[in-house]
Chains A and B, each alone.
Chain A
Amino acid sequence: MNLPKILNYDLSYYNRVSKMNKKIEKYGLLLTQKDVAVIIEEREHALIENRRVELDIQVTEQIIEELSSSPFVDKDNFVESIIEMQEIFYYIKSETDDRINDEELLEVLFECYREKCRGSLELLSGRETDLIIRQINLL
């Protein structure tokens, strides 16, 4: 039984991500149909890479909402940032054996992204991700 294939995608996801445009338009951002498709596809890819199954797309919705209000994001790097943040999120979830829940991890990640990395996803995905994993695993 290929559970990732069955569980990681739902027909409603496309609409749900598209509807995020209502929330982010106030920041001058917009997700095109192609952007939505890429984000969903890359989410599935990140889940498979990190040997995970997900029953909902609310993490992606929260990442979109959080990044849209960030001063470090503009229309040129928005989609790329969403994709990168999804990858980091699932990587940490698996590397920490789910010791941290979704809300807490998103909070830690975005605080680090804003305060320590000053919007640099390169910094976040490297040394800082390792530090976060180490701290969580020590708890």
Chain B
Amino acid sequence: MEFDIDVLNKVKKENINKYHYTLSLLKEGYRVGALDKKRFIYIQSQIMNLLKKIILKYTKKLSTSVKTETANQIYQSILYALDMALSQVQNPDESIHILYTREIEEIYKEGIQGIESLFEESKGLFETIKEEKLNVPLKIYNFSIDVAIPLFIKEYDIKYSAQDTKTLLDYPLIFDDMKYQGVVYINHYLVHLKLETDFIHYFNIKDVNKLLNNFGKTHQIDIEEAYFNIFEIVFNNSIFSVILRDDFSNILLSYSEYKTLKEMFVQSNEEELDTVITQATDNLIQGLDIKDDPLINYILEYKNTLFIRLKNAVKNNGLEYLVISEKNDILEETISFQSETGMTDHEFRILIDYIKECEDIKEKILAIKTNIKSLTDMIDLLSSDCLFGNEYVALYHELSNFELAVLTKIVFYEELRDDSFTLDNIKRKETQHKCEEQFIDFINKLNKNRRNEIYNLLNNKNIKQ
């Protein structure tokens, strides 16, 4: 049968599967009549003959049989090589024409050359990535670069298992198409990892690490062990920094800056949010003088994701998890147990006597707030029986989250050794001072958000002792 070039016009691109290119080409070619039944069967038998030939190479002709699993693996590897060769031409029509006119083994050999070339290119790319590796403590990031990719390079088997990725690349990228296999997947991964790394290098690595720590505190996670993408955190904050103060190089935001941004975002509608993110992205690209087109495209693609996330964060009151701010700011604003040296014994006794005699609860609280500056004095005061019933609660209401976290650490010293302990529904203990009982009741009555804020502060190094 003569090849009818006109039928190729009937090929529907949506019927072509880029992950199983050859098989979908055969199916579509047969459907439109570009490949007749005879040619279709001939191609299949050629693939089987090639499979037999490669299985015998695999066994070095010393065995006539292999496990079915091995045969399948080699068969998939052949298809992978054919996919590589056929996808290198401009369009599916041309690929079908190749299947009609050329021998399968010839196409296969071209595919193997294509795989070899992509593998070499990927190795080169990885060398650059190694040189530019970020100095960050994320184990999953370091493992991917130090162990997983070298393992792939060492183990990759072009002849018999080209479709296998055979490694654990767990560090998540913003855009990671896991339907790709073998070296094609690794190459995509490395290209994207390089783009993300290039972007992060526009910023000071100390700032990046500080930002990651703030991210960890915000999400209550240990960043060394956690599974997250660095690029998105850096990019998000760089955009927020541009929106707030037109600053291209600073990714760190104070808590008060976060509050300003929150106010701005909450008052904006979707269209305004989209505009502000788009403008900030354009300004950032110009401000950082980014000239690399693939990186610009990557950024512009991610910008759309950021817009959706921002929109959802505003809607769900979750902005603090997207706009990462410096947690130290919170301490600066609220800490008051800052004095190392407390009151003298004489001063303390006078204060206790005054509180006991004073009948106005507001005056009692004012006296405490004015005079108590150290944690030791506060603890002594609470256990001195100078307050009664609701007066404890009134005092606790005057304390900041940080101060409450300090008290929590003292009251629940034993319980906090258990990792599963939370501040939700705490039970009263049996032998407790009434200040502790009142403290438990007070904490139980707080709303969940505030309890969470206090709980998050428990991990702060300033109150770990």
Interface residue stretch chosen among B65-73, B312-320, B350-358, B452-460: B65-73
B64 within 8 A of A: yes
Interface membership of A101, Cβ < 8 A? yes
A11: Cβ under 8 A from any B Cβ: no
Q: Nearest chain-A residue to B52 (Cβ)?
A: A55
Which residues of the partner chain A approach B55 to less than 8 Å between Cβ atoms?
A: 53, 55
Which residues of chain A come closer than 8 Å to B65, judged between CB atoms? Answer: 47, 52-55, 59, 90, 93, 102
A-contacting residues, B316-338, CB 8 Å: none
Partner of A52, one of B52, B56, B62, B66: B66
The answer to whether the Cβ of B59 comes within 8 Å of any Cβ in the partner chain is: yes
Q: Is A98 an interface residue (CB 8 A)?
A: yes
In the complex, the chain B residue whose C-beta lies closest to that of A50 is: B67
Cα(A55)–Cα(B74), bound, Å: 14
Q: In the complex, A93 Cα to B72 Cα: how many Å?
A: 17
Size of A's binding interface in residues, CB under 8 A: 22
**Is B48 on the interface with A (CB-CB < 8 A)?**
yes
Task: Determine the distance from Cα of A54 to Cα of B62 in the docked complex, in whole angstroms.
Answer: 12
A123 at interface, CB cutoff 8 A: no
* Cβ B67 vs Cβ A102 within 8 A: no
Q: Is the CB of A58 within 8 A of B67?
A: no
Residues of B within 8 A of A101 (CB): 59, 62-63
Alpha-carbon separation in the docked complex, A113 to B230 (Å): 64
A70 at the interface (CB under 8 A from B): no
B68→A3 contact, CB < 8 A = yes
Interface CB pairs A-B, < 8 A, 30: A1-B72, A3-B51, A3-B71, A3-B72, A3-B75, A4-B68, A6-B48, A47-B65, A51-B67, A51-B68, A52-B66, A52-B68, A53-B65, A53-B66, A53-B67, A53-B68, A55-B52, A55-B55, A55-B56, A55-B64, A56-B64, A59-B64, A90-B65, A94-B67, A98-B59, A98-B66, A101-B63, A102-B62, A102-B63, A102-B64
Q: Are B67 and A7 in contact (CB under 8 A)?
A: no
